[in-house]
Amino acid sequence: MTTAKIGLVLDCANPEQLAEFWAPALGYVSLGSAGNYVVLVDEANAQPSCCSSE
């Protein structure tokens, strides 16, 4: 059986500021930014990843 991996992308005006709020609120850590994206992940890799973009 294959397990699906889910991710979430949020479109926002300031992805870095949004990531600063949501990372601790969700218990995630920021992997940093790449272009207009900021990637948040659960350190245990048990939860979906979250990406915010401008």
Q: Which fold has domain 7-53?
A: 3.30.720
Q: Are strands 49-53 and 7-11 parallel, antiparallel or unpaired?
A: parallel
pLDDT for 51 equals 65
pLDDT at 40 over 70: yes
Per-domain boundaries in the chain: 7-53
CA-based torsion, 53, 20, 22, 39: positive or negative:
positive
- Give Cα 53 distance to the centre of its chain: 10
Radius of gyration over every alpha carbon of the chain, rounded to an integer in angstroms: 11
Per-residue pLDDT tens digits for 43-52: 777 666 766 6
The reported pTM is 0.73
**To which residue do tokens 């991996």 refer?**
5
pLDDT for 24 equals 92
